[in-house]
Amino acid sequence: MMKRSWTILSAAIVIAAGAWGYYAWRHMRADMENPVVASGGSPPGVEATAQSTSPTPLRATRPSAPTSEQPSAMPVDEKSIEERADAAEPTAGVLANQPPSNAQPVEITLSQPPKPASPAIDTLESARQAVQRGEFIRARTEFAAALRMELTDEEQAEARNELLRIAQTLIFSRAIGTGDPLVEVHTVAAGDTLYSIGRQYMVTEELLAKINQLADPHRLRVGQTLKVVRGPFSAIISKTHHRMDVYLEDILVRSYRVGLGVNGGTPTGTWAVNTKLINPDWTDPTTNQHYLAEDPDNPIGERWLGLEGLAGEAVGRTGFGIHGTIDPESIGQNMSLGCIRLKPDDVAEVYELLVDRHSRVTVVP
């Protein structure tokens, strides 16, 4: 009985194995006779990749048994695949990455990065605020600092004008700013003269008389108080701008237009004021014509400040000076023999500011 059962079981296994092998062989043959090419599209259930560039046959693996919900494999119609692929192409008039025609445009504004802080602008603004608060000594210091920095032409003009305006009040009037390091009060002692006081502070007696509005500079009283300026003044002459700037220490206090030497004949460098004359005689070195004092035709006018070269191209040079002119049209031009010309009123002021032996004049390109 046992032997018979094993015989039946073996036969059943052989029959089942044969049926399964025949079924698998049949489906494999059908797939080999109908390869699927992934060029124009993909059959349902198969995902084609965008990178496919050559036909790739899809090989069947072990199939699952068909059910009522899963029909058996059917031959693939290549023509229908191509038609479906064509239908999937974008229609005419529709471009990739282009929004629909009814989309509303969106305006995007990119915020600008903040400008880096400028020390010159910050200093200039601080000086403006000091003026508004009435702190003129601080404003003067900061305008002077800003002027040594990199400014636009408009900002330079603003700083220069403010310095000149402040100087008119703090330096050239009777007013004394509290804590101003450039001026002080001098009490007249026995034996003091305006000349001796000026020499003590390295300024001219003419300037002291004008600042203190003295009716008679030769009549001082013991105990009298005078406003004095701590000199000396110095000057910088720009050949490019035809301009003389007068400084007290590093503070701009006066500015004048000048005439200079023909063909660049005014030597650059540092000069010392060594002589000062009112209504001088003068001899023209080119014609040897001599002009007497008080002569209205004297080309150098009524003031002469002789210069001695100390440094640069000026070293060892003599015969140059600062003087007036009877030809105001030459101011701002290169028409002199090398000297520095000023208008009559301007040279009179410069004469009161610069002190012989102490004041320096620097000529820059």
The domains of the chain are located at: 117-170, 181-231, 233-364
What global pTM score does this model have? 0.68
- H/E element, 283: strand 282-283
Going by pLDDT thresholds of 50, 70 and 90, the confidence category of residue 2 is low
Strand, coil or helix: 190: coil
What does DSSP say about strands 251-257 and 183-187: parallel, antiparallel, or unpaired? Answer: unpaired
- Pick one of 3.40.47.10, 3.40.50.880, 3.10.350.10, 3.60.21.10 as the CATH number of 181-231: 3.10.350.10
Q: What is the mean pLDDT of residues 123-131?
A: 96
The separation between the first and the last C-alpha atoms of the chain, rounded to the nearest angstrom, is: 133
Indicate the CATH number for domain 233-364: 2.40.440.10
Q: What is the mean pLDDT of residues 63-83?
A: 47
Q: Taking 80 as the threshold, does the pLDDT of residue 102 lie above it? A: no
Q: What is the mean pLDDT of residues 153-161?
A: 97
CA pair distance 120, 150, nearest whole angstrom: 6
Residue 304's DSSP bridge partners are 277, 323
State residue 315's pLDDT score. 96
Distance from the Cα of residue 320 to its chain's centroid: 39
304 Cβ partners below 8 Å, 6+ apart? 275, 276, 277, 278, 280, 282, 321, 322, 323
